[in-house]
Amino acid sequence: MAQNGTPVPDDPSGRHAHDAARFTALIESARPEDWVRPSPVAGWTALDVVKHLIEWPRGFLKGAGIELGPLDIDADPAAAWKRHVTDVQDIIDNPAGRVLRNPNTGDKPVDEAIDQFYTVDIWMHSWDFAKALGREPELGQERCRTALADLQPIEQALRDSGHYGPAVPVADDASPQDKLAAFIGRDPAWKPES
């Protein structure tokens, strides 16, 4: 599978490194005034997207006995993100047989849990962050098609979880990326107010 012509690695370590690097490039392009810009996630700013991607996995990883210290995201979002990416990449690269135990997801090797639940979150929220910055994101059409096919059979469970809003209607001939964004409750045509 390729994204912007670049093959997406098919292992947890490579996939996290790939998706985190793409998100890091977006963060590095952000100007100080961009952090308060609205995002497509109702009630969230660009900074809130980054906070989400740092804070929830640090709590999630406690299920594997991994305690990662707090980061001052407000003081320096880019530095906090880079520290967090390094922390998570170290865990994926050195899983050391650790198992993440979670009542909602069951027991999984920590590197597989990060790949299944967190790396995909980085990838999908890069759409939100890029849009907040006024950019058109590119998630990779084939990857979007595959993700949508994987999510559709569990749609009701996703909606019931409260993590996904109602699907947004799109045309039958919409791109796979637009269909995926709409499925998770985003308006593909969303733009920040000028």
- Per-domain residue ranges for the chain? 2-150+166-183
Supply the pLDDT for residue 99.
Answer: 93
The CATH code of domain 2-150+166-183 reads 1.20.120
In this prediction the pTM is 0.91
Nearest to 155 by CA among 170, 143, 165: 165
For 22-76, what is each residue's pLDDT tens digit? Answer: 999 999 999 999 999 999 998 999 999 999 999 999 998 998 899 998 999 999 9
Supply the pLDDT for residue 10.
Answer: 84
Residue 138 structure tokens: 């590119």
For 132-148, what is each residue's pLDDT tens digit? Answer: 999 998 999 999 999 99
For 77-104, give the secondary structure using H, E and C.
HHHHHHHHHHHHHHHHHCCCCCEEEECC
